[in-house]
Structure 1
Amino acid sequence: MNKYELPQDSQLRHKDFVFGVATSSYQIEGGVAEGGRTPSIWDTFCQKPGKVDDGDNGDVACDHYHLWQQDIEMISDLGVDAYRLSIAWPRILPEDGVVNPQGLAFYEQIIDACHARGMTVYVTLYHWDLPQYLEDKGGWLNRETAYKFAEYADVVSRHFGDKIDVYTTLNEPFVAAFLGYRWGIHAPGVVGEREGFLASHHLMLGHGLAMPVLRKNAPNAKHGVVFSASPAYPLEDKDIGAANYSDADNYQWFIDPVLKGEYPALITEHQAMHMPMILEGDLEIISAPVDYIGINYYTRNVVRYDEHGEIKIVPQPENEHTYIGWEMYPQGLTDLLVRLNERYDNMPPIYVTENGAATDDTCVDGQVNDEQRIRYFQTHLEAIDQAIRAGVRIDGYFAWSLMDNFEWAFGYRQRFGLVYVDYQTQERTLKQSAIAYKNMLLERAEENK
């Protein structure tokens, strides 16, 4: 397949549907001690033995800090409408209250280069790289960090204003709070139920505090927030309760306060002893109107109750899985988008802000034949089309990721990129999936002339 086949009469073929690629700062930039940047919690976490596969770190990553010009050219050559990136908080505010002009200038040249090539720019303010100096004061367990986030959002949006086309406050607060402060799998590596829920509330409070600041400083830009979601399916009818609870814990806990102004009762009742202190007015702040919701989808969860009444994820060995063991289940994306649309009366437009697969990629004679990823993208684009036909408003799709990069606790073992990166030489090679994406976008552009 040398291009993705978009269904006939599909909204995906329309010129207003946004196609893009996505990255995040710590995963690609490197240059961790350059340009005035100070350490983030991920720099610290990577130094702890056994926390990251192979002892990997983001010190160099894809060296985007130095190679950004060729990378933006590469993105432009794909023919995408938009580039989704994140800004590194410790590059902008290397010390509490100290603004770093070099950091702002670094991102300004990237934004300008994107605009010069006709691409819109989607910027995430927080993709998990909290400054270490804030973690030293408690990080997201400290309510003050929510206010520090709003100050950081103010610095960025006052500088860039509407030059940033679309702002995202947080990327995947589920991962930042629960993997970082509940289960200890990600930085900063804290373990505790109460800590996980406390961090999550402060993250969502930070989002809410930032929204009016962003609107004031960038009145013509769009503003929203991005959530990860792995929809749950009961193994048997007796496990429906397990699936409902899994959905509440996995994504409704984060989306409900934004779109409903409340946390889901399933969680607040079951986890009553671990609930954070929610001050009067917090939920009003968090539920500030948003222009869009981003949804990151990779796979689903099939769940059941075990003999102790605990919820367990049940592997589905009869179905196809990616190289890292994630089930390929495009129907889950359709189901998720429809479920969300039904759950929230005030659902704003949705972007699928991340979607992709890690496959077993090798570069042979300058070619990477990633056939499974091609099928993954094809079937998930079809799944989005089905959701649109079912009445869900979806305005765009971003492939994760532009290129292979630092995949957090998995280091460099997992390759999610459309573009293959040789980490020794930093050479970039378009995989067959990237060529198919480019060809599809070229064909769509011809149609819309």
Structure 2
Amino acid sequence: MMTGDEKGFNRRMVLATGAMGAASLLTAGGPLSAAASAATGGKHLVFPKGFRWGASTAGHQVEGNNVNSDLWFMENIQPQTFTERSGDACDSYHRMEEDVALLKQLGLNAYRFSIEWSRIEPSRGHFSLAEIDHYRRFIDMLRKAGIDPVVTFYHVSAPRWFAEAGGWLNPESPELFANYCDKAARALSSGMAYACTINEPQVGLTYRTFASGGEYFKKQDEIQARAHAAAAKLTSSERFVTMNHPDIVGMTPQLIKAHEKAYAAIKAARSNLPTGVTLNLVDFEPGNEGSPYQALREKAYGEWLACAKRAGDFVGVQTYRQIQIPGPGAKLPAQPAMPYVDAGHMEEMIKQPTALRNMVEYVHEQTGKPIFVTENGLETEDDRRRAWYIPQVLTHLHEAIEKGVPVIGYMHWSLMDNFEWLAGFKMKFGLASVDHQSFKRTPKPSSAVLARIARANAI
């Protein structure tokens, strides 16, 4: 997943920036089932047999102390681009049992997480058998609990040595990544249910496609350029490149090749393992008649959707926002009102529950591939909004399924409040909160909404 800012950009754009007890709400009836009934108009919507219900996280955001990674290094230099350091994060590295227990409590049958490249290959060409065994134990633990492991091989953070070698601007980077994927897949793929190669490789491109993002990125790019130059000087590197580096355009050819080579490597290790790439997809919709929103979609997503079409068994769709694109004609209806949101608060109004359905349909239309919703959620400290949002977004997702779109499953971002990149721990996406002194996970009331739906496989 981006941190978002005061203007309401998606949390991954820069990234690269209760009174009720949850347990009692897991039973039938009550306000949560009423909310679901309101979302569906009283209908009983059943999802396909075998539908995967889950939650997502990323290693650097929850494991803690990812000290060999490029982002850990960037968190500790000046000029500072991170609000705070990841530190212990949620200590998931040492609390695998607690995370599996939380997934079980919520009735989820799938969990998307990342294996950390910087742990598995801490220096170039050196692979840690101990770290591979750590992830093998976690995969086995999930399997024994009846939870499908959905594994991301690269979720934003890379080894520090990789950044020192030029990161994704290095022409050798696709081969370096494929070599890591080969080693990891041969060791771990037997227990995986699904594999994701790269998380949101085009996130830095999405918001640069329309004019209003220009001024914002000009400022951010200047800060990131200075920080990356400082990192290069400190490491005596020609250049130090992370996914937050301003030159996302220059990185893209290598990232596309990296996905294709990683896909081939993973399939060579286990040919029947469904593998795909996950993409950040903002739902661009017309705000006026004559809006160029379709051309904007093509500009933002066309290259990567073509890549996913030729190299992938599914496409991971990750959608949080809906932005109306102006045009020369008459104004079209405004986005519908939502509870707990001021209609004049545009940063919140763009979090429309119809956005996911629209992008699921669009990506399937463009690629012909099955769709896996690998991320969707809501950053808010008002958990009532999340409790309302979940049945709403899933009702609309069901509409896409009824139209014939093959949807593998729905993964909510995130299992728990975690380290949200440049924004630190401020943003709250989790189905559970985390006490950063005791690391206790506490399910929020909204988690009971998803739990009821997951257990019933229906709304």
TM band (smaller chain) = 0.7 to 0.9
Partner of 2:351: 328
Determine the structure 1 residue equivalent to 2:314.
292
Q: What is the deviation of 1:343?
A: 2.8
Residue in 1 that maps onto 2:269: 217
Which residue does 2:84 correspond to in 1?
56
2:207 & 2:395 partners in 1: Cα distance? 31
2:164 aligns to what?
Answer: 136
Consecutive unaligned residues in structure 2, runs of 5 or more = 1-30, 209-216, 225-241, 329-333
Counterpart Cα distance in 2 of 1:324 and 1:403: 23
Partners of 1:26 and 1:179 lie apart in 2 by: 24
Corresponding position of 2:75: 46
Match of 1:340 in 2: 363
Q: Deviations over 1:199-254 (max 9, x none)?
A: 1121111010112211121123211111110021232224x22x234312432232
- Flag the structure with more relative contact order, 1 or 2, with Cα contacts below 8 A and sequence separation at least 6: 2
Give the whole-Å Cα distance in 2 for the aligned partners of 1:71 and 1:152: 26
* Pairing partner for 2:125 from 97, 119, 130: 97
Q: How does 1:15-54 map to 2 (within 5 A)?
A: 15-33=49-67, 38=68, 40-49=69-78, 51-52=80-81
Any idea what SS the aligned residue of 2:195 has? strand
* Superimposed CA distance per residue, residues 161-200 of structure 1 (whole angstroms, 9 cap, x where no aligned partner): 3211211101111126779999648845422xxx322211
The corresponding residue for 2:401 is: 388
Report 1:226-245 matches (<5 A).
Answer: 226-238=278-290, 240-241=291-292, 243-245=293-295
Mapped pair 1:375 → 2:427: no
1:190 to 224, 245, 255: 245
* 2:375 aligned partner: 354
Is this contact kept in 1: 2:205–2:300, CA < 8 A?
A: no
TM-score by length of 1: 0.79
* Structure 1 unpaired stretches of 5+: 260-286, 307-314, 362-369
CA contact (8 A) 1:351 1:396 kept: yes
Point out the more displaced range, 243-252 or 142-151: 243-252
Residue type matched to 2:380 in 1? T
Corresponding residue number in structure 2 for 1:442? 455
Deviation at 1:331, TM superposition (A): 2.0
The answer to whether the Cα contact below 8 Å between 2:322 and 2:352 also exists between their aligned partners in 1 is yes
8 Å Cα contact 1:52/1:411 also seen in 2:
no
> Residue 408 of structure 1: which of 390, 400, 421 is its match?
421
Deviation at 1:58, TM superposition (A): 1.6
> Cα 1:49–1:98, aligned 2, differ >3 Å: closer, same or farther?
same
Q: Which amino acid aligns with 2:297?
A: D
State yes or no: 1:10 paired with 2:45. yes
- Work out the CA distance in 1 between the residues paired with 2:442 and 2:133: 28
Q: Deviations over 1:313-347 (max 9, x none)?
A: xx979764799736231222222222223333xx1
Aligned with 2:348: secondary structure? coil
Shift, 1:2, TM fit: 2.9
* Deviation of 1:50 (Å): 6.0
Which whole-Å CA distance do the structure 2 matches of 1:190 and 1:353 have between them? 25
Structure 1 pair 302–176 and aligned structure 2 pair: CA distance change class (3 A): closer
Q: Which residue of 2 aligns with 1:283?
A: none
- What is the one-letter code of the residue matched to 2:60? Y
CA distance in 1, matches of 2:153, 2:349: 28
SS of equivalent residue, structure 1 residue 301: strand
**Which residue does 1:364 correspond to in 2?**
none
For the Cα contact (< 8 Å) 1:45–1:188, is it kept in 2?
no
Is 1:200 the equivalent of 2:235? no
> Tell me, what secondary structure is at the counterpart of 1:83?
strand
Counterpart of 2:326 in structure 1: which amino acid?
R
Instruction: Provide the alpha-carbon RMSD of the alignment.
Output: 2.8
TM-score (norm 2): 0.78
Q: For the structure 1 residues 340 and 444, does the alpha-carbon distance in structure 2 shift closer, same or farther, using more than 3 Å as the test?
A: closer
Are residues 1:65 and 2:93 paired?
Answer: yes
Distance 1:63 1:74 in 2: 14
Q: 1:75 to 1:50 in 2, by over 3 A?
A: farther
- What secondary structure sits across from 2:93 in the alignment? helix
Once the two structures are TM-superposed, the CA of residue 296 in structure 1 deviates from its matched residue by 0.5
Q: Distance in 1 between matches of 2:73 and 2:205?
A: 17
Q: 1-side partners of 2:299 and 2:245: how far apart?
A: 18
Is residue 145–residue 202 contact of structure 1 (8 Å, CA) maintained in 2?
yes
Q: Which residue identity is paired with 2:73?
A: T
1:126 aligns with 2:154: yes
- Aligned counterparts of 2:456 and 2:361: Cα–Cα separation in 1: 29
Structure-2 separation of matches of 1:11 and 1:207: 34
Contact 2:70 2:159 in 1 (8 A): yes
SS of 2:408's partner is: strand
Q: CA deviation at 1:56?
A: 1.2
Deviation of 1:410 (Å): 0.9
Cα pair 1:350 1:393 within 8 Å, conserved: yes
Judged with a 3 Å threshold, the aligned counterparts in structure 2 of structure 1 residues 51 and 189 are, in CA distance, closer, same or farther, namely farther
Q: Secondary structure at the match of 1:206?
A: helix
Q: Secondary structure at the match of 2:94?
A: helix
What is the aligned counterpart of 1:162 among 190, 193, 199?
A: 190
Q: Is the 8 A contact 2:416 2:432 kept in 1?
A: yes
1:164–1:341 CA distance, 2 compared to 1 (3 A): closer
**DSSP-derived class of the 1:237 partner:** coil
CA distance in structure 2 between the partners assigned to 1:158 and 1:422 by the alignment:
36
Deviation per residue, 1:21-63 (Å, 9 max, x gap): 1110000000324xxxx2x22112222446445x312221101
The residue aligned with 1:303 is 325
Percent identity (aligned): 28
Worse-superposed segment, 250-259 or 89-98: 250-259
Instruction: Give 1:342's aligned amino acid.
Output: E
What secondary structure sits across from 1:212 in the alignment?
helix
